[in-house]
Amino acid sequence: MENKVLVMTFKNQQGKKINIRLGNIKPNLTDAQVMEAMNAVVAGNILLTNGGDVVSKEEAEMITTNTSPFTIQ
């Protein structure tokens, strides 16, 4: 089974990286949609971190994993 996860990385006021992982994302997600979502997170100031407010976008990536279960019984 294939699984896709969007990982969005931000920096807070102390310069520490903060990751948000979202599963069950659409396979045809665009750069523009991801940028819009990340801009909303920064502008909305919706995250609470130990290092202060989220102040900038760092990077985003889609991670795809494949799982192949074994029959063990």
Q: What is the distance between the alpha carbons of residues 44 and 64, in angstroms, rounded to a whole number?
A: 28
For residue 50, what pLDDT is reported? 93
Start-to-end CA distance of the chain, whole Å, equals 20
pLDDT in tens, 3-36: 999 999 999 999 999 999 999 898 899 999 999 9
pLDDT in tens, 43-60: 999 998 999 999 999 999
Q: What is the pLDDT confidence band of residue 2, given thresholds at 50, 70 and 90?
A: confident
**pTM here?**
0.86
**Beta strand spans in the chain (E):** 2-12, 17-23, 54-66
For residue 63, what pLDDT is reported? 94
